[in-house]
Structure 1
Amino acid sequence: MTDIADILPYISLAFLFIVGLGIGASTTVDDFKVSFAKPKAVSIGFLSQYLFMPVTSFILASAFQVRTEIAVGIVLIGCSPGGSTSNLFSYWSNGDVALSVTMSFLSTMAAFALMPFWIWVFVKKALKSDVKIDWATLIVSLLLIVFPTCIGLAIRKYNTQRKIAGKFIWKWVEILSSMLGVIFLTASVAGAIVSYQDFFQEAGYSIWITAVIMQPIGCSFGYIVSKLLGMSPKETRTISLETGIQNFSIALAVVQLSFAADEEAQKYALMFPACYGFLYLFWSAILVVFFKYYLAPRDYKGLDNDEEELSSSQKVEFPIALGNDEEEGEEATKKELETGP
């Protein structure tokens, strides 16, 4: 590995902080209220994220009979909370952005208890691994999403008058966080490619097959289950993305620091997160294009004009990606609350 590998965990942690800040600034308390008025959708997404994905990761690791260190990396990805970028992907896919933000926040909060639980069940008990997980890094990684999200929410709530260059401060936080988030995510993936290029060559077919199918399996499960349980097309796309997209930055940082004393074990434990991260943007781009240009145009097919107009009125704006004036964004939120979820 190159020297770049030594700073990758810190790049990943910086990415988590920046994106968390952007999520908070792009969200209002009313957005959470709208989403919690849909407990069925939130519950389906939560169970898909924290029951189906961890179990699936362990089944895949067991089916291919990979060595213990590699299995640890697979399980860590499987029990990680939803990726923060899923909120932006949900917007691009014409999904329910308020629901996406709520699910990302809830999965991150739940990760404080459920990540250690699944690691104990699968890594310690099932795999009988004696690896010492760097719990401090895990907790810090999660806090670096929760704290800045709360800060962003506070900025959005209390910044109602002060503007800079015609834009509210929270708007600038959104814009800068979005830009820096993309930069840090790109740097993480590029750094992983440069640092772990040997891994890509040495990773066997079992690792690559698992890395290729994990995200599509998760997204497909979330989509099919939510569809069968009667969720709307927007909610179905959102739950699909939230289920399949895992926050590999957390797994990367935890593995890097947990195996710091054993370079050989670290090498194998990092193989899957590195391969998964390499394919992450590829699969996400395909899913966004498929959802946006194939499924989304069919949302209101067969509805009469009044139903279509009502459904269109329930859209939630996503300020990071839109160029609307702030006052228009606030009016859209008020309209959403008045019409109901």
Structure 2
Amino acid sequence: MGIPLHSKIRRHLRSVLNFILAKRFTPRQKTGKIDPEKIKKILLIRINYRIGNIIFTTPLIRALEKKLPDAKIDMLVGASFTKPIIEKMPNVHEVYPVPRSLIKQPIAFYRFIRMLNQKRYDLIISPATGSVSANIAAFLIQAPLKLGIFRPDTWLPFNITVPADEKTLHEALKPLAVMEAFAGTPHRYNRFLDIALTPKEREEGKKLLHEKITKGEKKYIVGLFRDARNDKKIADTWWKTYLHEMQKTAPETAFIDILAPGQSPLSEEIPTISSKNLRNLAKIFSALDAFICADTGPMHLASASMTPTIALFNATDPAYYGPLGEKDKTLQINEMTTEEIAAACREHIDRVV
């Protein structure tokens, strides 16, 4: 299954609009340094509708917390279901979803922009390069300082830009380039995902998980998540074979099937659990000993919950999209047998848990 036609059309239209705007407003590099002491209210713009891309902002959010501990961050996201991921992070104040339908409602759109302008932000940050929707939002919302990453082929409504970090491949770490715009001693920022679950939330996760499964005589509880988008999805027939092999390879492990909304269970042999609230899902992930999945948004959610995550890649490059935790592992499975994959998973779990 490839990329859906409607997604291809949206991408093409965005590219055309970006080309027109870039031709009309020639992009120019605009350097400058921002005084952290003068920044109290920030609007971070990441209007995206995928779980992973919103979680990819967490290294930047934590970096801003370190550099500007007294500043409060409001954030524009795409889908409302991603809001719970971010809204409880320590320095995040408000999270505003921007549904795709908003642009079709002129009065509601005008009121939304007016509401944001009444916030009187000191700084707007748009860390995504080439995002037309983010650039339009940054253009319409007022702030004395607007910070983005320079691209020579993109319309840029910013008065301060920083060069893109060409040495960094991973999409979650590229936004950290904007931290170069702040005056003062450079910091070393965490280069992993972190949604800042509290100890209380982790205890809640244990209770939610233990309502469905307990270790008993087993050594580990490992979660499986089978859903993924387009070509990244791995067939259930493969997962059944893999589960059987894991049960032989790691008999001391209890497995739980973590279901996406509307998904059918993989097997009657193992329990299931699900949650539409992504923050609650992260709590459950945090109670697992390990999490195994394809290349999917919940992979990053588990990694950002500090759960050892094993990602099974079959279509995309983990250098750009793989999990970032110290206890995470990526397997390129196209040239591996299920026996080899199960053995590698067993070895990794024994080593890091």
What TM-score bracket applies, with the shorter chain setting the length?
Answer: under 0.3
Instruction: Report which of the two has the higher share of strand.
Output: 2
Instruction: Report which of the two has the higher share of helix.
Output: 1
Q: Compute the TM-score of the two structures, normalised by the length of structure 1.
A: 0.25
Q: Which one scores higher on RCO, CA 8 angstroms, separation ≥ 6?
A: 1
